[in-house]
Amino acid sequence: MALMDLSSFKAQFPALCDDARMRTLGAHEAADGSRELDLTPESLESFSVPAPKDPGTLPAMLKQGPEAVAYYVSFRTDPQRFGIYLRPGGVKALKEEYHRIIWRDLGKYADKPIEDVVDRIEYTLVLDYLFTHARFHYLVDAIAANREMADGKPRYLPYLEWRVATARKPPATPSDVVDLEEALANLEAFKNFINPGYCDAIAKLVAGRLDERNVQEWQAFFIGARWGTEIANAISRQPPGFRDFTRFLNRTTSVGATSYVRVKYSYNKEGQDNARKTLSARIDGVSPPADLSAAPDYFEFEPPPFRAYLVT
């Protein structure tokens, strides 16, 4: 499914990009003076935030989810500077919270100075979470635009109106999700943290810097899913919708020697596929069918690369 240059979408389809309606429905605006980030792997390797942390970040995430730190600006409102915007004080606050979680478990296994490696690990985890979550919102917008270009039927604005209206009401049934888009955005972001390949790459950053026995403890923390469980617990304190991502995962429990109940999450392809098909139908303005097996999944393509900005 080919996508157009989205920077020209507003000029070609102004009726599908009503600024006033977009703002009313919660669309973000580009921050003046923001600095574009270089997203090449080499530049991200050295990314850091010199600004102090914003102490209001974690409380704000309880109300706004990760949008308190990183938010998406649509090509419908700003064709030249659409993308993902990071609040530096929020990035630093989330990085320090990740440090607290990691160090609580692994600080005693750092037998040598590894502050530089730990910084790299924490910034990587923070950026991957924030970018992946916000990118999902961009993907929803791009999917709607691609469908709109095909037949001229408005989709994104009616979808946003439906999304806002349903998010204000309690779920009709226990199986309903208040805000499916936010749940799937958090699911996409969380999947890395239970992906053995991703976690192994993170843990390997301490290899050669610590005693081998301690390296194994770091590997056990990340690859053994303790990190994923910690982050799932943190996300569970976000608002409804955001925290419902675990509905699309497998959840298992085990009891340790001290009667501590350990929760572990694993990938559930069927659960995610059905949720994506449901959201695809909502974007198209139709009710999802009871049997989703033959329903289309519009999330099976890559949108154009996004840009990112640091709010200054």
CA 135, 199, 255: angle at the middle one, nearest 5? 110
Secondary structure class of 265 (helix, strand, coil): strand
Residue 97 lies in a domain: yes
Q: Kindly report, residue by residue over 139-182, the tens digit of the pLDDT.
A: 999 999 999 999 999 999 999 999 999 888 888 777 789 899 99
Q: What pLDDT score was predicted for residue 161?
A: 96
Q: What pLDDT score was predicted for residue 257?
A: 59
Residue 18 lies in a domain: yes
* 74 to 8, 24, 27, 187, 234: CA distances (angstroms): 12, 14, 7, 21, 28
pLDDT exceeds 60 at position 287: yes
Bridge partners (DSSP) of residue 72 are 84
- DSSP single-letter state for residue 81: S
Distance from the first to the final alpha carbon of the chain: 36
Residue 277 lies in a domain: yes
Strand positions, DSSP E, the chain: 35-36, 70-73, 83-86, 249-255, 261-267, 308-310
Sheet holding 35-36, edge to edge: 35-36, 308-310, 83-86, 70-73
User: What's the mean pLDDT in 99-115?
Assistant: 95
Q: How does residue 6 score in pLDDT terms, banded at 50, 70 and 90?
A: very high
- Please tell me the distance from the alpha carbon of residue 289 to that of residue 116, in angstroms, as a whole number: 51
Q: What pLDDT score was predicted for residue 1?
A: 45
pTM of the predicted protein model: 0.94
Q: How does residue 25 score in pLDDT terms, banded at 50, 70 and 90?
A: very high
Q: Kindly report, residue by residue over 216-272, the tens digit of the pLDDT.
A: 999 999 998 899 999 999 999 999 999 999 999 999 987 765 556 678 899 999 999
Domain residues for 109?
Answer: 6-310
Total number of domains in the chain: 1
Residue 1 lies in a domain: no
Q: In terms of Cα–Cα distance, which of 102, 107, 105, 269 is closest to 202?
A: 102
pLDDT exceeds 90 at position 78: yes
